[in-house]
Amino acid sequence: MTREAALSLLAPAALAALLAGSPWTRALEQPVADALVRLVARHAPPEPPIAPGLAVVAIDAQSLRVHPDWPWPRARWGEVIAQLDAAGARAIALDLDLSRHDAQDPQLAQAARRSGRVVLAALRQRERTGDGSEIELANLPAPELRGAAAAVASVQLPLDPDGAVRRARRASEIAGSAYPSLAEAALRVAGGPVAAAEEQGAAGPSFRIDYRRAHEAFPVVSVSSVLAGSFDPAAFRDRIVFVGATADELQDRWPTPIGPSVAGIELHALAARTLEAQALGVPGLRDADGAARLVWLGLAVVLGALLRRTPGAWRLPAVFALIGGTGVAALAAVALRGLVLEIATPCAVTALHYALALERVRRVLGENVERQESALALLADVGDAASRNEHGERSLDICLALLGDVVDASGVALLRARPDGTLDGRRMEWRRRRDREVGCGETATRVLHDDRTRIIEGEAPAPDGGLAVYTPLRAGGQPVGVLVVERQGAGLDAAHRRTIATVAAQLSLTAENLRLVESLRETFDAAIAAIATAVEARDGYTELHCRRLAVFSSLLAERLGLPAEEVEALRLGALLHDVGKIGIRDAILLKPGRFSPEERREIERHPVVGDQIVRPIPGIHPITRACVRHHHERLDGGGYPDGLAGDAIPLGARIVTVVDVWDALSTERPYKPAYPQPAVRQVLEKGRGSAFDPDVVNLFLRVLDEEGDELIDLVARAPKA
């Protein structure tokens, strides 16, 4: 199980544990459970009656109209007991407050004693005193009546926080003594089946009143009919008779799951029916125990987890089906087993699973959008890098690195190819680790030949446990290379495939453009070399002069830390520095003696002529022009043609100046013999700071000492253009 899957189960399970039985859900669970009980009570087929049966004698509105002298005299209650006893009642339970002494107590006590089956009520109540405080009073039958009764029982009904009666107690504590409930005492007096109560303190265990049996018919007879003798004795024969108030005026009505107003005496009768059923082993209405709740909530967690695997179009209908199924299952549990299960908590768990599924969908969509944005940004960056021709092959390096980051590659390589479809050996690559070369030449050659992308997974030359994508690159119908993308992880989604294909198309154009640029550069270099050769050819004494300047000057530029682009521009400037001599007459250029002032002024025009020659060349670098125009400037401002001084002279020109003077003094010219090297070095050192840049002089002399002979020999052996 993945970490995400474990968290997707633990989060709903934690929610279920937090909500189950908590105050947050109890307020919702109770009305839902009440609704289920009402449905079962009203629509389920009635249960078979349970012996010995029940009956209710109601102090109803009719009775109060016939006998308006409420509270009635005790002797009248003696008559009721006598009538019920004569009808064959097995127990007579009176829910009456008989705590106050009355002159007629002896008549009621005599009737109770004669019957031997009378249960009298006891209760406790709170009264407010004159100072505003409350005291608890115990209302027990008068002593004479207690002695005559078969039992004294509690008529206390526990109320839930919402004021409804859902449960009853088997016993309650009144005035420091435990009294059985009216229902249990009546069952015991009648000799009916009563389960033994567990020893759980004076209050005794509580139980749910089985309201499913509320609509099972039992006789309800007005007490006025009993007093008048106008009733059918069969209604009470062998039954437990509960006598109490049902009239609204007597305010003994309570909200319950089956209705907003149920008489207290009827609740006692239902409690007796519930206890009787339990004693006979008939399942009654009860809350789910710990094991049942654990199974129920665990099922909700598991089904909710399966919901998350449902396809998106079916997920919402599945949520409603699961919530509806939860309600149906809970209704069946109430109807068949009397088991009250939680509904709000499983529905909350289902909703959480749905929310987690939505979050997962949102995350996946977000990841897809992020990948799309990354791909678009990559394409923009690739296009931008490819459009900057001044970067040369550096743009391809940037493109490969960008692609590697976006598709999470372990390595990306571009293997260059010739127009005939064979690899030319040049490669560019980007790798996260320098452990192995990216791409296989044989595979790349086959891909070029087949002209189709190949994805290799789980076999060579793909990395262990990963894959490799080989994409042929073509431009104008000609092969230009193969793009290789390697990943450590298996699998490549459609977005990444599209990204690779799009970048491959862009790289094809970029690589072809670079090839054309390289071809133009080669042509340009060849032209520059030809011009330099032409200049050297005019002056036999200066053969290879321009080439030596190019080699030494570019080396000095590298040592001084100039960028590669500026080093190349300086090399071209060194090659072309004397191109202006093409415009100088041979009579002056090849004159063996010293120049006249007029001739010197003409010869000193060659930097300006050279600048005029190279200036129209497209893309000519400013450093190249500076070397051509300013290679005869002096650091002290005494040079020509512009009399620049100090840092106003471009660095490239200062470098070419030093090398030019060294080479001119070291070689024979028409107007002078070659100087020995010590003399040349003396000239350079003497002009340090006045004619020449001191740093350039120092570096040049060091290069001469370390590798001067090798460089001179290299230039001499190089083929001429």
Which residues make Cβ contacts (< 8 Å) with residue 522, sequence separation at least 6?
none
* Residue 382 pLDDT > 70: no
* Residue 268 pLDDT > 80: yes
**What pLDDT does residue 464 have?**
72
Higher per-residue confidence, 369 vs 41: 41
Buried b (16+ CB within 10 A) or exposed e, 487-517: bbeeebeebbbebbebbbbbbbbbbbbbbee
228 falls within a domain: yes
Predicted TM-score (pTM) above 0.75? no
375 falls within a domain: no
**What pLDDT does residue 359 have?**
45
**What pLDDT does residue 467 have?**
87
Angle, in degrees to the nearest 10, between helices 622-630 and 606-614: 160
Q: Residue 613's Cα: distance from chain center in Å?
A: 66
**What pLDDT does residue 536 have?**
61
49 falls within a domain: no
Cis peptide before 641 (omega within 30 of 0): yes
**What pLDDT does residue 649 have?**
95
One domain, residues 222 and 338: no
Per-residue pLDDT tens for 444-499? 889 888 888 898 887 778 877 688 899 998 887 788 889 998 888 767 777 777 77
The pLDDT > 90 percentage for the chain reads 25
Which residues make Cβ contacts (< 8 Å) with residue 502, sequence separation at least 6?
375, 379
Residue 337 sits at φ, ψ, to 5 deg, of: -120, -5
One domain, residues 315 and 347: yes
One domain, residues 342 and 405: no
Total number of domains constituting the chain:
4
Residue of 241, 239, 207 lying closest to 119 (CA atoms): 241
Across the range 429-450, mean pLDDT stands at 83
Provide the 3-class DSSP secondary structure of residue 455. Answer: strand
Of the chain, the end-to-end C-alpha distance in Å amounts to 72
Q: Residue 2's Cα: distance from chain center in Å?
A: 15
424 secondary structure, DSSP code = E
**What beta strand segments (E) does 155-309 contain?**
167-169, 171-174, 177-180, 206-208, 220-222, 240-245, 253-256, 259-263, 286-287
Using alpha carbons, list the distances in angstroms from residue 335 to 21, 45, 212, 258, 330.
Answer: 22, 10, 8, 15, 9
**What beta strand segments (E) does 148-190 contain?**
151-154, 167-169, 171-174, 177-180
Q: Are 574 and 654 in contact (CB under 8 A)?
A: no
What's the domain range around 577? 539-717
Residue of 156, 153, 269, 168 lying closest to 220 (CA atoms): 269
Which residues make Cβ contacts (< 8 Å) with residue 256, sequence separation at least 6?
164, 165, 166, 209, 211, 262, 267
Residue whose token pair is 């633990």: 10
Task: Categorize the per-residue pLDDT at 691 as very low, low, confident or very high, splitting at 50, 70 and 90.
Answer: very high
687 falls within a domain: yes
One domain, residues 158 and 303: no
**What pLDDT does residue 711 have?**
65
One domain, residues 145 and 235: yes
- Token code pair at residue 673: 């013999």
**What letter represents residue 696's amino acid?**
V
Query: Which range scores top for mean pLDDT: 30-39, 156-165, 208-217, 576-585?
Result: 156-165
Provide the 3-class DSSP secondary structure of residue 649. Answer: coil
**What pLDDT does residue 673 have?**
76
Which residues make Cβ contacts (< 8 Å) with residue 593, sequence separation at least 6?
671
Higher per-residue confidence, 708 vs 138: 138
One domain, residues 207 and 73: yes
Per-residue pLDDT tens for 191-228? 877 655 443 333 447 888 888 876 666 789 999 999 99
Which residues make Cβ contacts (< 8 Å) with residue 108, sequence separation at least 6?
74, 75, 77, 78, 81, 98, 102, 145, 148
User: What does pLDDT average to over the chain?
Assistant: 79
526 falls within a domain: no
531 falls within a domain: no
One domain, residues 10 and 94: no
The pLDDT > 70 percentage for the chain reads 73
Q: Return d(Cα 662, Cα 324) in angstroms, integer.
A: 99
Residue whose token pair is 């453009």: 513
Across the range 496-516, mean pLDDT stands at 74
Provide the β-strand partners of residue 287: 340
Q: Return d(Cα 159, Cα 651) in angstroms, integer.
A: 100
One domain, residues 185 and 333: no
Question: How many CA atoms does the CB half-sphere of 24 hold within 13 Å?
Answer: 9
* Residue 558 pLDDT > 90: yes
Across the range 493-521, mean pLDDT stands at 73
- Token code pair at residue 617: 């060349």
**What beta strand segments (E) does 536-632 contain?**
none
Residue-by-residue DSSP string for 472-528: EEEETTEEEEEEEEEESSS---HHHHHHHHHHHHHHHHHHHHHHHHHHHHHHHHHHH
Residue whose token pair is 């300086």: 570
Q: Are 196 and 180 in contact (CB under 8 A)?
A: no
- Domain boundary (261, 281, 301) is at 281
Higher per-residue confidence, 276 vs 366: 276
One domain, residues 275 and 295: no
Return the CATH number at 636. 1.10.3210.10
Helix, strand, coil proportions of the chain in percent (round to 5)?
55, 15, 30
Return the CATH number at 427. 3.30.450.40
Task: Categorize the per-residue pLDDT at 89 as very low, low, confident or very high, splitting at 50, 70 and 90.
Answer: very high
**What pLDDT does residue 458 have?**
73
One domain, residues 261 and 306: no
- Token code pair at residue 74: 């005790």
Per-residue pLDDT tens for 589-625? 777 777 788 888 888 898 998 899 888 887 789 999 9
- Domain boundary (228, 256, 281) is at 281
534 falls within a domain: no
One domain, residues 277 and 164: yes
Across the range 669-679, mean pLDDT stands at 76
527 falls within a domain: no
Q: Return d(Cα 60, Cα 462) in angstroms, integer.
A: 93
- Token code pair at residue 593: 């003696």
Across the range 539-556, mean pLDDT stands at 77
Q: Return d(Cα 16, Cα 21) in angstroms, integer.
A: 9
One domain, residues 631 and 605: yes
Buried b (16+ CB within 10 A) or exposed e, 253-278: bbbbbbeeebbbbbbbbbbbbbbbbb
